[in-house]
Chain A
């Protein structure tokens, strides 16, 4: 029996879809059988991030409305044998699916797959309720900005109310240089405010954009992209390994040494 994980955030544009693609590919690289569901109906995106946009025949709404079986709608990613995508419908709206239907679909897919990752739309309306309906646990994505953290807080409350407890946090687009000069909230600041557990930190990295241009998630990159490594670490934490957190800003500068000597380390 597999596990359904929803990736959500409240705010749009913080990296949900990017994270679903990377975690999906990462889990498949570990040999897990993975299905990705794009629950962002009307704003289909996961297909292009995965580079699978030319292979869509059926979509999520076709499945829940019974026009095809889920097996027929799931696109196999030829690069990673055990990875499948269920694309969102592009021409329908989020009310085309109900939470009940999502529950049924998720429990069906769980029988077959080790992991089912659900890419949640932005917002807290029906699309959000659909996306979390069949989930066993949640990952919340935020960026180190006031509005994104605020929305994450709201989502944490809604997940609690839906009895989807113990969500874990992905902090995306962290810029160590800005943190260092005091112009960006640090990991500890955000964790202190949201009071949930961290599952990983992804640096702001142009290689995410470059790899997304190609339709190849950065998690596969072997050129030492920090963001790729960060996603690989999250993948291992998702499967239950205890992986130490990446040092995004190494304490090596003269300034830091001086601080340490003066006992002012912060």
Chain B
């Protein structure tokens, strides 16, 4: 924290640039989370490819979603397992 921020904190004031930065951060979380279905399909494909080394995945019953809660975005993957491979 610099001196200005310290003084601001004492008088309960916030620099306008910090407000700008905070607003940007939030709006970008939203912007970046509104991704296209193709993008999600790509993630799904890759996830399955990686995990397939360890277990057999039921692609039909696999869902990937991205959603936002205030301030953060969550990537949610539900992968249905058909079988688990013996560890190599």
Chain B contributes a number of interface residues (CB within 8 A of A) equal to 20
Inside 8 A of A259's CB, which chain B residues have their CB? 2-3
Partner of A146, one of B8, B18, B23, B32: B23
A264 at the interface (CB under 8 A from B): yes
Given the known inter-chain contacts A189-B21, A264-B6, please indicate yes or no for A146 contacting B16, CB distance below 8 A.
no
Are A266 and B2 interface neighbours, CB within 8 A?
yes
Question: With a CB–CB cut-off of 8 A, which chain A residues contact B31?
Answer: 150, 153-154
Interface centre among A150, A182, A185 (most CB of B within 10 A): A182
Docked CA distance A146–B24 (Å): 6
Q: Which residue of A lies closest to B14 (CB)?
A: A182
Which residues from A are CB-within-8-Å of B16? Answer: 182-183
Complex CA gap A259/B7 in Å reads 12
- What is the total number of residues of chain A having a CB less than 8 Å from a CB of chain B? 23
Q: Contacts A265-B2, A266-B5 given: A183-B15 contact, CB under 8 Å?
A: yes
Contact A193 B21 (CB under 8 A): yes
| Distance, CA A153 to CA B25, complexed state (A) | 11
Chain B hits for A146, CB < 8 A: 20, 23-24, 27
The yes or no answer to A184 lying at the interface (CB within 8 A) is: yes
B81 in contact (CB, < 8 A)? no
B28 within 8 A of partner (CB)? yes
A binding-site residues for B, Cβ under 8 Å:
145-146, 149-150, 153-154, 157, 179, 181-186, 189, 193, 255, 258-259, 262, 264-266
> Knowing that A153-B28, A264-B2 are A-B contacts, what are 5 other residue pairs whose CB atoms are under 8 Å apart, sorted by A's residue number?
A150-B28, A185-B17, A262-B3, A266-B4, A266-B5
